[in-house]
A and B are shown apart, each in its own frame.
Chain A
Amino acid sequence: MQIQTTPQDHHIARLAALAIGLHMVEAILPSPIPGVKPGIANIVTLFVLYRFDLTTAAWVSLLRVFAASLLLGQFLTPTFMLSLSGALTSLLMLVLASRLPRRWFGPVSLSVLAAFAHIAGQLLVVRLWLIPHVGVAYLVPVFATAALIFGLVNGLVVARLLASHDAAPRS
């Protein structure tokens, strides 16, 4: 059986593969604090949002979450649920943030906002499902700090990639 694919599908698959690769790299990196991760795969999501559109970015992000969890054997585990809830809330935030005027708000803004939405979504799942305890509030400042730092760094990387991508001839 032959599935008809469009060039658009190939594009999405290629970008998702890149995001999955970054996700896997991050999965083997040790983290000093459990749960605090830089989220480098989101660089791809944001890059796609700028170079293609929001729909493509959503495809790449969600394909990455599902495929990487299958590869890591985490499909439908709490880790996967956290990954998915974070991806969904940050995509939702990107829907809103991408309406901000591009003249003033660059990739760094979008990255930081998405990072905050990401931890908000994850902490919501943690609070409601995994650890239904008010003590979770104690962790919020730690994750918020991580979101600010990694959101900034990832955003700078995206801005940098976009700048070189603009200068380079289109492939």
Chain B
Amino acid sequence: MRAALSAARAHPFPRLLAGDWLTLLASLLLVVLLFQALWQSQGASKLRIRQGDTVYATLSLDQKRTLHLHGPQGETEIVIDHGRVRFLRAPCNSQYCVHQGWLTRAGQVAICLPNQISLELLGKRKSYDSLNY
């Protein structure tokens, strides 16, 4: 025990070898790449607009366009602006949809419940709105 203790003092901290640093560096790189590949939400390419229980339109995001939709409460104005979209004006009381602002990434959703209109951004593949495990 005493020998082990004095040995512990003699070797305060193990030294890393050149290959160890290489391994650590490569591992760190792998972790960063994994995060980039699997966690980065992809840019959206399409916009899906739903009105009531039907898909009103699926449009390209790569355009500048203003849409006027009529729901149960009146006219809603939606703006598409080269890769992003937002509710600009809505007749509802809460204005949640308008305050949500611009949507830019695939999987993002803005919903105006009172006027029954929703916007959903689509990427190349469908992403998940939630994950449980």
B residues lining the A interface (CB < 8 Å) = 3-4, 6-8, 10-11, 13-20, 22-24, 27-28, 30-31, 34-35, 38-39, 128, 131, 133
Contact = CB atoms under 8 A, between A and B. Distances in A.
Contacts of A28: none
A106 to B, nearest CB: 5
Contact of A168 (B7, B24, B30, B35): B7
Interface of A: 34, 100-101, 103-109, 112-113, 116, 131, 135, 137-141, 144-145, 147-148, 151-152, 155-156, 159-160, 162-169
Secondary structure type dominating chain B contacts = helix
Secondary structure type dominating chain A contacts = helix
Contacts of B128: 135, 138
Contacts, number: 93
Nearest to B6: A167
A169 B3 contact: yes
Given A105-B23, A108-B20, A116-B27, 20 more contacts: A100-B19, A104-B19, A106-B16, A106-B20, A108-B14, A108-B24, A109-B20, A109-B23, A112-B24, A112-B27, A137-B38, A141-B35, A145-B31, A152-B24, A164-B4, A164-B8, A167-B4, A167-B11, A168-B3, A169-B3
